[in-house]
Amino acid sequence: MICTLKSGTAPSSSERIADQLLAQLSGAGFEGEKVRCVDLALLPGVEADMGPGDEVPEAVASTTENAARNAVHLANVLRQSPYPPYE
């Protein structure tokens, strides 16, 4: 989730950082997607779902799904090639 103030396709330094991060993670087998928060209907509040019209639940569900998939991938990678012991 990119928290830039620029909407649509306007260039954004936050998006550039996200692009660089996703490129590096992709090279290691991770998947992800970019979502610009400014392009969503985000209702004010502190709940996960602020009611009708709030697009946060879909964005959070997608982000959570990707994080879970990537955590499983990382666990498999570490199982095959564990970190060396700390000394």
Residues 3-62: pLDDT tens digits?
Answer: 888 887 888 999 999 999 889 888 888 877 888 888 887 777 777 777 788 777 677 777
Instruction: Note whether residue 8 is domain-resident.
Output: no
pLDDT value at position 57? 63
Answer whether residue 2 shows pLDDT above 80.
Answer: yes
pLDDT value at position 17? 92
Instruction: Note whether residue 50 is domain-resident.
Output: yes
pLDDT value at position 20? 92
Mean pLDDT of 81-86: 83
Instruction: Note whether residue 27 is domain-resident.
Output: yes
Instruction: Note whether residue 75 is domain-resident.
Output: yes
Please tell me the distance from the alpha carbon of residue 48 to that of residue 56, in angstroms, as a whole number: 7
Please tell me the distance from the alpha carbon of residue 79 to that of residue 44, in angstroms, as a whole number: 42
* Structural domain harbouring 17: 13-80
pLDDT value at position 67? 81
Instruction: Note whether residue 20 is domain-resident.
Output: yes
Give 3-state DSSP helix, strand, coil % of the chain, rounded to 5.
Answer: 50, 0, 50
Is there a contact between 27 and 3 (Cβ–Cβ < 8 Å)? Answer: no
**Domains held by the chain: number:** 1
Dihedrals φ, ψ of 13, to 5°? -65, -30
Instruction: Note whether residue 5 is domain-resident.
Output: no
